[in-house]
Structure 1
Amino acid sequence: QRINGRELLMFCSNDYLGLAAEPAIAEALAEGARLWGGGSGASPLVSGHSAAHEAVTDTLARWYAPHIPQARAIGFCTGYMANLAVVTALGDEHTEIFSEQLNHASLIDAARLAKAQVTRYDHADVAGLRTLLAASAAKIKLIVTDAVFSMDGDLAPLPKLLALAEEFDAWLIVDDAHGFGVLGATGRGSLEHFGLSSERLILVGTLGKAAGLAGAFVAAHATIVDYLLQSARNFIFSTASPPAVEHALLASCALIDGPLGAARRANLVALQAQLRDGLLALIDRHPRLGWSLTDSATPIQPLIVGGNAEVMALAAALEAAGLRVPGIRPPTVAAGTARLRITLCGTHTAADVDVLLTALERAAAAQECAA
């Protein structure tokens, strides 16, 4: 990435498969513009829903058919809008929403905007959630969670959450923004990763991260999708996404599903192991700094530094060395857990990771000397 005239090696992008810069995607986008022009020209229910939109949602419905009986998909312009749409449409005055402590801001905002009662449960606390569900008298219960937590990189215990949904007649809404395209043998995300299947699953996926473009979708049982078509205000009252983008998304889906996607997911797994091994060795060499890692098995690999000043100094040192890894501070994360949120891409190389680890070693030694 070029910033202020300098080329920097990025370890902060959510372009997990490197598809945003893939020539085939650029070519498909240009082809889509030639075929469809610019914008969609209307909201989906008026005339904005094109054959290109339909092809994408049909593809995604087929992808999730093994995981959600009678699966259908509906498209949105952003993941934020998709989360708002699902939670506010389903969360009426007869509903209780059980919201994970570390959910993304869009899910938190969605719960606030819904007419439902909102109950927050502690991070990954399945036993605590079970107690809350058992005490609920709500007619409709929604368990709402990220699949991959964006600041920590850890996975929600989805099999256990789905078991609770089955036991207590609840729906499980899963925001798979950071799992789609990355997790699972074919990139279907967290449901494939865990081998889950249930009509109680409502999956939100984003198309601006691993897919390399823009947009989002909801995959769910046909009854749920039909309801969203008629009730999700974010869908009904928004201009549809440009059909050229949808045309390019078909190319992206083919890449995710094909040999290139498989190769880049395999590369991510290897890079994650290399990075974690290197970071753990670095932490062992500099114990006085108090750095630590989260329990992450995803491309999101946060290095917990602690203090705000320390993490910003570390980020500045990396940028001076030609690396872009911004510091993340409160209120985005809890006080005392400021961090470098290192994210890997399938087009990174082992040599790139070595460059990062070398720069971190130099910065760590400098901070330890200054302490």
Structure 2
Amino acid sequence: MTTSFYDRVAAELVDIDAQGLTKPERVIASRQGPVIEVGGRQVLNFCANNYLGLAGDERVVQAGIEAQQRWGAGTASVRFICGTLEIHKTLERAIADYLGFEDTILFAAAFDANGGIFEPLFGAEDAIVSDSLNHASIIDGVRLCKAKRYRFANSDMDELESRLKEAREAGARNIVIATDGAFSMDGYIARLKDVRALADKYDALIMVDDCHATGFLGPKGRGSYAHHGVEVDFVTGTFGKALGGAMGGFICARKAVVDLLKQRARPYLFSNALAPAVCGSSLEAIRIAQGDEGDALRSQLTANAARYRAAMTAAGFDLLAGEHPIIPVMLGDAKLAQTLAARLLESGVYVIGFSFPVVPRGAARIRTQMSAAHSFDHIDQTVAAFTTAGRELGVI
């Protein structure tokens, strides 16, 4: 048997490690929350997408248990064969009503939602104009589609207008602008008011991935488009972040669009239906998020982000500007990011260094993320640990 393939794989792993790009998995021995158990120790967790702190909430957990007890572990089927449960329809109605759309289609993962939205809706006669910082799932979804592709620099409205003009002059039947609502590696919020104005000018549709916005941005946490007070055509999102932290994705749109996606979207047609436990937990998380308690959690999240950002800036760290609870600590060097993350874990703070290919080369960082479940004391302890380690490593 030839060994050349395996030799090449081993050599590539060695090269990845030499560049400081290895991404180790650290095993967590507790529920997700502001404090987790790693390596037999309790550490502060500042790198989860648990924005509202609901992933370990007992009500969310129990709702999932009750759903599994009633509906079983899973459907053992895709939706159109014998995999559509009443709870799937309930969840589709709940998220559509919450976000203000006619209908919703569920997916096993948010990656699948972005992977499945373009190909059924747009063909070779159409055009997709995509932000350069869009999530990998959007990029892959666009690649699966035969529509002509255009790209514009992150939130550069002049370049977006140029691409829209090119597409329109090239005779595109339909144009869709695709953008993250909040860009996951940087914490930037898309300029959707300006995007809306250009879409109206060039008769374009708007698709927004709101995975890092649903539940906590905008009035009642309805997302980035609600934050800006505009309407969009398609919203993709997840139950794996603010809305319970489990997994699963969705697309919200007009009913006719959802009906077509249910006939043609391959990740929907060829994947098992979302597990009942995920549906139950997500329904409870939506209930909490859209109520008065959700308002209180969003206020706490905003206060936590402001406190952390101010303290880290005062300590001398280079942070990307913004108002999102994603707050990247910029370091540049991949090995330095890994070393600082390891030093912080020793000090009782769990964060992760991000490097290529997750972010561009030379733009390594530690992406810190706030949660409504963090206390001010958690934040102050984390800033102190960053400051001590940063001074020891010459970062500040």
Partner Cα separation in structure 2 for residue 275 and residue 249 of structure 1: 29
Give the deviation of 1:351 after TM superposition.
0.3
The alignment's TM-score, normalised by the length of structure 1, stands at: 0.93
Q: Corresponding residue for 1:164?
A: 198
Distance 1:361 1:238 in 2: 46
Q: Report the alpha carbon displacement of residue 260 of structure 1 after superposing the two structures with TM.
A: 2.7
Instruction: Give the match for residue 10 of structure 2.
Output: none
Alpha-carbon distance, 1:279 to partner: 1.2
SS in 2 for 1:333: coil
Structure 2 residue aligned with 1:264: 297
- Alpha-carbon RMSD across the aligned residues, in angstroms, is 1.5
Name the aligned partner's letter for residue 61 of structure 1.
Answer: A
What is the CA-CA distance between 1:34 and the residue it aligns to?
1.4
Describe the superposition over 1:320-363 as per-residue Cα deviations: whole angstroms up to 9, x where unpaired: 10111111112221222211100011100000000011011111
- The match for 1:190 among 224, 232, 235 is 224
Which of 285, 288, 297 is residue 255 of structure 1 equivalent to? 288
In 2, Cα distance between equivalents of 1:73 and 1:35: 23
CA offset digits 1:127-148 (Å, max 9, x no partner): 1111111121211211111110
Structure 1: gaps of 5 or more residues: 284-290
1:235-275 deviations in Å (ceiling 9; x for gaps): 12221112232122221111111233222111110011101
Q: C-alpha separation between the residues in 1 aligned to 2:282 and 2:358?
A: 31
The aligned counterpart of 2:391 is: 365
Q: Which has the higher mean CA deviation after the structures are superposed, 18-27 or 233-242?
A: 233-242
Match of 1:317 in 2: 343
Partner of 1:28: 63
Instruction: Give the unaligned 5+ runs of structure 2.
Output: 1-35
- Mapping of residues 203-352 of structure 1, within 5 Å: 203-212=235-244, 213-283=246-316, 291-352=317-378
User: How far apart in 2 are the matches of 1:133 and 1:250?
Assistant: 38
Report deviation, 1:225: 1.2
Identity %: 34
Matched, 1:143 2:174: no
1:38 aligns with 2:70: no
Secondary structure of residue in 1 paired with 2:221: coil
Q: Which runs of 4+ in 1 moved over 3 A?
A: none
- C-alpha contact (below 8 Å) 2:183/2:190 kept by paired residues: yes
2:93 corresponds to 1:61: no
Residues in 1 aligned to 2:196 and 2:254: alpha-carbon distance in whole angstroms = 15
Give the Cα separation in 2 of the matches to 1:121 and 1:278: 34
- The aligned counterpart of 1:288 is none
Measured in 1, the distance between the counterparts of 2:253 and 2:120 equals 14
Residue pair 1:94, 1:116 contacting (<8 A) in 2 also: yes
Equivalent pairs counted in the alignment come to 357
Q: State the TM-score, normalizing by the size of structure 2.
A: 0.87
> What amino acid sits opposite 1:36 in the alignment?
W
What displacement does 1:4 show? 2.1
The verdict on how the C-alpha distance between 1:247 and 1:313 changes in structure 2, with shifts beyond 3 A counting, is closer
Q: 1:8 aligned to 2:43?
A: yes
**Residues 367 and 247 of structure 1, relative CA distance in 2, 3 Å threshold:** closer
Q: CA deviation at 1:169?
A: 1.8
Residue 84 of structure 2 aligns with which residue? 49
For 1:191 and 1:63, locate their aligned partners in 2 and report how far apart those are by CA, in whole Å.
13
| Range that drifts further, 111-120 or 21-30 | 111-120
SS at match of 1:120: strand
Cα displacement (A) at 1:91: 2.8
Q: Decide whether the 8 Å contact of 1:35 with 1:244 is kept in 2.
A: no
Residues in 2 aligned to 1:92 and 1:46: alpha-carbon distance in whole angstroms? 27
SS in 2 for 1:292: coil
For 2:384, the aligned partner's letter is T
Q: CA deviation at 1:86?
A: 0.5
- Is 2:237–2:251's contact at 8 Å kept on the other side of the alignment? yes
- Aligned partner of residue 20 in structure 1, secondary structure: coil
1:53 Cα shift? 0.7
Query: How far apart are the structure 1 equivalents of 2:205 and 2:305?
Result: 33
